[in-house]
Amino acid sequence: MASNHRKRQLASERQLKALLQETERLREENAVLRIQASTSGPPRRQRSRGQVANSRPQQEPESIYPGTTGAIPGACNVRPHEPHAYASSSP
């Protein structure tokens, strides 16, 4: 039983050593990238697509249906998750 415990301990130590080496490598890489970023000048700010799309003036509200604007006639009380209730002639 003791040898099984020792094997697990050695495996954990190897894993820890590998993680520490990887951490050190990433720290060095991060430092290099910081230096490169600081010497290349201020970052260029790019406008996102959302800002471009929202910056244009809208005269009329756009519809989700191509070729139409505003509300769809007759669609005010439509509930797609409920079956359509037709008006019946009986009270």
- Return the domain boundaries, the chain: 1-40
In angstroms, rounded to a whole number, what is the distance separating the alpha carbons of residues 62 and 79? Answer: 21
Q: What is the DSSP letter of 60?
A: S
Q: Tell me the pLDDT of the chain averaged across its residues.
A: 74
Q: Give how far the C-alpha of residue 22 lies from the chain's centroid of Cα atoms, to the nearest Å.
A: 28
pLDDT digits (tens, 9 = 90+) for 69-84: 555 556 555 565 666 5
20-42 burial: b if 16+ Cβ within 10 Å, else e: eeeeeeeeeeeeeeeeeeeeeee
* Residues 80-91, mean pLDDT to the nearest whole number: 60
- pTM of structure: 0.40
